[in-house]
Amino acid sequence: MTVNDALKAASSLIAPACEIRGANPARVAKALLMRHLDVKIEWIFLNLNRELEDADGYFALAKRFANHEPLEYITGEAGFYGLTFNVKKGVLIPRPETEILVERSLEVLSNLSTQNESPLIAEIGAGSGIISICLALNSKAKIIASDISDEALNLARQNAEKFGIEDRIEFVKCAYLDQIYGRFDLLVSNPPYIAQDYGLDKFVLNEPHEALFGGAKGDEILKNIILVAKNRGVKYLACEMGYDQKESMQNALKFNRFEAKFYKDLAGFDRGFVARNIFANF
Ligand SMILES: C[S@@+](CC[C@H](N)C(=O)[O-])C[C@H]1O[C@@H](n2cnc3c(N)ncnc32)[C@H](O)[C@@H]1O
């Protein structure tokens, strides 16, 4: 079977799954082939009539996608903030909207840096480590990040090593900041915030549920994080949230004496906030 025939057959196999994802079957088929052969896209265009080696191995990858395994889990990589991070099943795949949370956090840090050479950051829910790693790479901050998942922590440590900043970030297994001590200038989090009964597509449901669902309403973990931020006297709190959670976050932040600015994602949905603790010592 030629490369071209294999691409066509794989495209048909994955077409129904691509429809769920709004993805282009031919493009996904090529991405899977690049992963299978460890080649760049140019190789594929130059070798369309060549006999495909280990076609069974290629179709095994296509079947994984047809069974709704996200492409990033199959390729083991995901792009975020201009970098390529390792990803794996069991850990949330980075989402493009989280880049805005990184941007907003860096803005906070640039103001703090004028007062403090090395600001201290805590992150709740590190996942693959993308947020802490991007903050470390773009500032002088020292960072401690928690997660309840061993798989996430191992991957985050691996990613930190990949970018050579393992000395700047400590990853700790705990809920919230339960095993993490000290005072922080900035607490950042992209926590699970989806309501338990929200209908997600089959690909997303292949991601870890403890990274997705925030409780019956969805905002429960976010509310706990606001309480942690208040009790620990953090100066700034930056969080991603669900598109329909602005009002509940506004109330919780106001009640806990935070002054908040909300931001939208690129689709125009409310997506997060940066809040200043009115009573923290600056
Ligand atoms: C939505 S994912 C975000 C991962 C990563 N920060 C990102 O933006 O891609 C949330 C992460 O929080 C972790 N998590 C869930 N509940 C937690 C808690 N109470 N304390 C710490 N981490 C928690 C999950 O295991 C998951 O890795």
One domain, residues 119 and 237: yes
Q: Count Cα neighbours of 263 within 13 Å in the Cβ-side half-sphere.
A: 18
Does 88 fall in a domain? no
Residue 92 lies in a domain: no
Decide if 166 contacts 157 (C-beta within 8 A): yes
Question: What does R_g of the chain's alpha carbons equal in angstroms?
Answer: 21
One domain, residues 217 and 144: yes
Q: Are residues 28 and 131 in the same domain?
A: no
List all residues whose CB is within 6 A of at least one atom of ligand 1.
92, 94, 98, 124-128, 130-131, 146-149, 152, 175-176, 190-192, 210-211, 221
In three-state secondary structure terms, 101 is: helix
Q: How far is the CA of 54 from the centre of ligand 1 (A)?
A: 38
Residue 179 and residue 120 share a domain: yes
**Residue 75 in domain:** no
pLDDT of amino acid 198: 95
Output DSSP code: residue 245. -
38 with 139, same domain? no
Using the atom order of ligand 1, give the atom closest to the CA of residue 176: 20
pLDDT at 113: 64
Give the Å distance between the CA of 175 and the centre of ligand 1. 9
pLDDT for 117 equals 73
Residue 245 neighbours by CB distance under 10 Å: 25
State whether 103 and 62 are in the same domain: no
Whole-angstrom distance, CA of residue 155 vs CA of residue 147:
11
- Please check whether residues 167 and 228 belong to one and the same domain: yes
CATH number at residue 158: 3.40.50.150
Q: How many domains does the chain have?
A: 2
Q: Average pLDDT per run of 10 along the chain, which is 282 residues long?
A: 97 96 95 96 97 96 97 97 98 98 96 76 98 97 97 98 97 98 96 96 96 97 98 96 98 97 97 93 63
33 with 160, same domain: the answer is no
For residue 53, report the distance from its CA to the centre of ligand 1, in Å.
40
Q: Are strands 83-86 and 77-80 parallel, antiparallel or unpaired?
A: antiparallel
Residue to probe by mutation, ligand 1, list 210, 226, 271, most atoms within 8 Å of CB: 210
**Does residue 215 form part of some domain?**
yes
Last residue in a domain, options 52, 67, 82: 67
Same structural domain, 112 and 245: yes
In a domain, 91, yes or no: no
Pairwise CA distance, residues 148 & 100, whole Å: 24
CB 214 within 8 A of CB 194: yes
Look up the domain containing 264 and give its range: 98-277
Residues 264 and 124 in one domain: yes
Whole-number Å distance, alpha carbon 148 to ligand 1 midpoint, is 7
Residue 268, in any domain of the structure: yes
Alpha carbon 44 to its chain centroid, in Å, reads 30
Nearest CA to ligand 1 atom 9: 94
> Angle of helix 220-231 relative to helix 246-255, nearest 10 degrees?
20
Rounded-to-10 torsion of CA 163, 164, 170, 172: 50
Q: At 212, which amino acid appears?
A: L
Is residue 46 a part of any domain in this protein? yes
